[in-house]
Amino acid sequence: MKSVIIILGPTCVGKTGLSILLAKALDTEIISADSMQIYQHMDIG
């Protein structure tokens, strides 16, 4: 069974950095979503 890890919290607390570290360690991808859009591959900045 596959797992889903959800990281959530307020702005500027390190969610992106943590998610990148986890994705590299687990050899998986990141899907980032906010209230208006969903992003994949973290090329949003």
What would the pLDDT profile of 6-31 be if each residue is shown by its tens digit? Answer: 999 888 899 989 999 999 999 998 88
Residue 23: count of CB within 10 angstroms of its CB: 14
CA atoms within 13 A on the CB side of 21: 6
Residues 6 or more apart whose CB falls under 8 angstroms from that of 5 comprise 22
Tell me the pTM. 0.67
> What is residue 44's predicted lDDT score, i.e. its pLDDT?
53
Residue 2 in this model has a pLDDT that exceeds 80: yes
> What is residue 38's predicted lDDT score, i.e. its pLDDT?
65
Beta partners for 38? 33
